[in-house]
């Protein structure tokens, strides 16, 4: 399993990351080569993971006219430019071992932040996910949508109340949350991937009761009594179980699931769930090879603000205890830790603003973020 967890030390990390950006770009430009079957016959079904025999990956269909036209419009080596063509061939050859390693593997990607808000990055993300599917990997996307929810609440003049800085999700707010997450945003993300050449299907946790949820339990310190008291945030939920059959059906049929973080209670009530939490729960239920958490920061930083390439579960506890990991990074790291404990082989916090961040993480030796592993 060394190929799953190997990372270079921080001294060479930045240099190799910059060097490998050309590799990721070349993979994207020439992904017809990657789409060919690696070590198996065309259209042969393979096991997605050794310990997940029910999850299968089907080789993608032949090129369509749309894919060919899109690739022809992509700038690459010009006819007769032997030097540029040779360089592309070299970097593609370097990617081959990684393509073999992840063939048939399940990769869960949490998508949000600026990578979703900026059109160029969003379209690039769609192409990258389509590429993963086309080279035999099973990508599963879980997305957020906080800014879009805020914009719609403002547009509809739905008032929100806050307790200690946390939004209270009443029924009116929940209706808007479900409309935006399971509707507008979900279909937008699915369409990004479909336009790039892979078939994506937008779903939410309520479909097939895929994500069962319960009311989130929060507490706060009462300023008068100084006692810990329950904090009622309305219909904010936590996943209690994930039924992966819907996801298996989609990935086994050659489709890319795009999941909105809306869960359902035993009584049919909808719950708004944090997208990071849903991504970790889904990755654990699928026994994924990788969980990629796209954020707006480079990863976990040390006290000198330098990127930490990798952390074990024990090291995460130590870094939280000594104050290295603080603030909003703590819940993200906790989600990664929980995913690894559930069987995910590695969880990575990486900067979604970096071009081709997912490709860099999977197809090069020096990933752009922080890998959390056992």
Q: pLDDT value at position 24?
A: 54
**pTM of the predicted model, to two decimals?**
0.78
Helices 275-286 and 245-252 sit at what angle, rounded to 10 degrees? 70
- Residue ranges and CATH numbers for the domains of the chain are 19-373 (3.40.1160.10)
Distance, CA of 58 to CA of 49 (rounded, Å): 13
Tokens of 318: 């130590």
**DSSP result, 131-160:** HHHHTT-EEEEEE--HHHHHHHHHHTT---
Q: pLDDT value at position 83?
A: 82
Q: pLDDT value at position 62?
A: 42
Element containing residue 161 per DSSP (H, E): strand 161-163
Q: What residue ranges of the chain have pLDDT lower than 50?
A: 1-6, 8-19, 30-74
**DSSP result, 264-327:** E-TTS-EEE--HHHHHHHHHHHHT-SEEEEEESS-S-B-TTS-B--EEEHHHHHHHHHTTSS-T
Taking every pair of C-alpha atoms in the chain, what is the biggest distance, in angstroms?
A: 79
Q: pLDDT value at position 94?
A: 79
pLDDT in tens, 271-316: 999 999 999 999 999 999 999 999 999 999 999 999 999 999 999 9
Q: pLDDT value at position 227?
A: 82
Distance, CA of 211 to CA of 264 (rounded, Å): 6
CA atoms within 13 A on the CB side of 189: 31
Distance, CA of 200 to CA of 126 (rounded, Å): 10
Q: pLDDT value at position 10?
A: 44
Collect all residues with Cβ–Cβ distance below 8 Å to 187 and sequence separation of at least 6: 202
């Amino acid at each position: 399993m060394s190929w799953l967890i190997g990372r270079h030390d921080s001294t060479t990390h930045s240099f190799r990351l910059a060097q490998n950006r050309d590799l990721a770009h070349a993979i994207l430009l020439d992904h017809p080569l990657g789409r060919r079957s690696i070590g198996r016959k065309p259209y042969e079904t393979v096991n997605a993971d050794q310990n997940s025999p029910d999850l299968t990956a089907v080789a993608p269909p032949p090129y369509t006219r749309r894919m060919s036209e899109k690739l022809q419009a992509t700038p690459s080596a010009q006819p007769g430019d032997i030097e540029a063509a040779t360089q592309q061939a070299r970097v593609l050859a370097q990617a081959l071992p990684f393509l073999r390693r992840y063939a048939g593997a399940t990769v869960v990607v949490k998508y949000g932040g600026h990578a979703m808000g900026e059109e160029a990055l969003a379209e690039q993300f769609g192409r990258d996910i389509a590429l993963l599917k086309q080279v035999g990997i099973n990508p599963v996307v879980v997305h957020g949508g906080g800014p879009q929810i805020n914009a719609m609440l403002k547009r509809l003049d739905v008032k929100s109340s806050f307790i200690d800085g946390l939004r209270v999700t009443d029924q009116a707010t929940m209706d808007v949350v479900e409309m935006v997450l399971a509707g507008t945003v979900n279909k937008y993300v699915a369409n990004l991937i479909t336009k790039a050449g892979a078939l994506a299907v937008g779903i939410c946790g309520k479909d097939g009761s895929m994500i069962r949820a319960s009311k989130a339990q929060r507490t706060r310190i009462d300023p008068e009594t100084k006692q810990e008291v329950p904090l009622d945030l309305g219909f904010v939920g936590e996943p209690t179980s994930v039924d992966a059959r819907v996801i298996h059906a989609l990935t086994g049929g050659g489709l890319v699931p795009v999941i909105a973080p809306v869960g359902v209670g035993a009584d049919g009530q909808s719950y708004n769930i944090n997208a990071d939490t849903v991504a970790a729960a889904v990755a654990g239920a699928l026994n994924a090879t990788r969980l990629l958490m796209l954020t707006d920061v480079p990863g976990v930083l040390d006290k000198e603000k330098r990127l930490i390439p990798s952390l074990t579960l024990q090291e995460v506890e130590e870094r939280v205890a000594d104050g290295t990991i603080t603030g909003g990074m703590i819940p993200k790291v906790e989600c990664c830790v929980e995913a690894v404990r559930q069987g995910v082989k590695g969880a990575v916090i990486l900067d979604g603003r970096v071009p081709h961040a997912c490709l860099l993480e999977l197809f090069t030796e020096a990933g752009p973020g922080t890998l959390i592993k056992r």
